[in-house]
Amino acid sequence: MTSPPVGWRKSSRSAQETDCVEVGRVDDGAAVRDSKNRAAGYFSVSGTQWESFLAGIKSGRYEP
């Protein structure tokens, strides 16, 4: 069983915007939730999946 997410934080790039996501830590990965609707829950990914996602962002893979 996975422990609940801890350490939720919002990106510093979001400034005072409310249309953001927050990321929390889980056992071996990350959890993601909508900052304006926290009660809706979250999804979690493994550490390997999260690292791959971050690498994609840094490489520009998701740029329009």
Q: What is the pTM of this model?
A: 0.79
Contacts of 6 (CB under 8 A, 6+ apart): 24, 25
- In terms of DSSP bridges, do strands 6-10 and 29-34 run parallel, antiparallel, or are they unpaired? unpaired
**pLDDT tens sequence for the chain (64 residues):** 568 999 999 877 776 666 788 999 999 999 999 888 889 999 999 999 999 999 999 999 998 8
User: Residue 18 is encoded by which pair of tokens?
Assistant: 């409310």
CB 5 within 8 A of CB 24: yes
For the chain, the distance separating the N- and C-terminal CA atoms, rounded to the nearest angstrom, is 37
User: Is the CA virtual torsion 20, 25, 31, 37 positive or negative?
Assistant: negative
